[in-house]
Chain A
Amino acid sequence: GQNIDQPTEMTATEGAIVQINCTYQTSGFNGLFWYQQHAGEAPTFLSYNVLDGLEEKGRFSSFLSRSKGYSYLLLKELQMKDSASYLCARRIGGATNKLIFGTGTLLAVQP
Chain B
Amino acid sequence: GAGVSQSPSNKVTEKGKDVELRCDPISGHTALYWYRQSLGQGLEFLIYFQGNSAPDKSGLPSDRFSAERTGGSVSTLTIQRTQQEDSAVYLCASSDRRQDYTQYFGPGTRLTVL
A45–B41 Cα distance when bound, in Å, is 19
Contact present for A97 and B95 (CB under 8 Å): yes
Contact present for B48 and A45 (CB under 8 Å): no
Contact present for A48 and B100 (CB under 8 Å): yes
A95–B54 Cα distance when bound, in Å, is 10
Interface positions, chain B 62-95, Cβ under 8 Å from A, are: 91, 95
A1–B38 Cα distance when bound, in Å, is 12
Number of residues in A with C-beta < 8 Å to the partner?
24
User: Which B residues lie within 8 Å of A98 (CB)?
Assistant: 33, 45, 48, 56, 59
User: Which A residues lie within 8 Å of B35 (CB)?
Assistant: 99, 101
Q: Does A103 contact B (CB under 8 A)?
A: yes
User: Which A residues lie within 8 Å of B103 (CB)?
Assistant: 33, 45, 97, 99
Contact present for B91 and A43 (CB under 8 Å): yes
Least Cβ–Cβ distance between B104 and chain A, in angstroms: 6
User: Which B residues lie within 8 Å of A97 (CB)?
Assistant: 31, 48, 50, 95, 101, 103
Contact present for B42 and A101 (CB under 8 Å): yes
Contact present for B45 and A100 (CB under 8 Å): yes
Q: Which residue of A lies closest to B33 (CB)?
A: A98
Q: Does B40 contact A (CB under 8 A)?
A: yes
User: Which A residues lie within 8 Å of B45 (CB)?
Assistant: 98-100
User: Which A residues lie within 8 Å of B104 (CB)?
Assistant: 45
Q: Does B43 contact A (CB under 8 A)?
A: yes
User: Which A residues lie within 8 Å of B107 (CB)?
Assistant: 41-42
Question: Can you offer 8 A-B residue contacts whose CB atoms are under 8 A?
Answer: A41-B107, A43-B105, A48-B102, A89-B43, A101-B35, A103-B40, A103-B41, A104-B42
Interface of B toward A, CB cutoff 8 Å: 4, 31, 33, 35, 40-45, 48, 50, 53, 56, 58-59, 91, 95, 100-108
A96-B50, A101-B35 provided; 7 other pairs, C-beta below 8 A?
Answer: A42-B105, A42-B106, A45-B103, A48-B100, A87-B43, A89-B43, A98-B56
A-B pairs, 10 with minimum CB distance = A1-B42, A101-B42, A101-B43, A42-B105, A103-B42, A96-B56, A97-B101, A98-B45, A43-B105, A42-B107
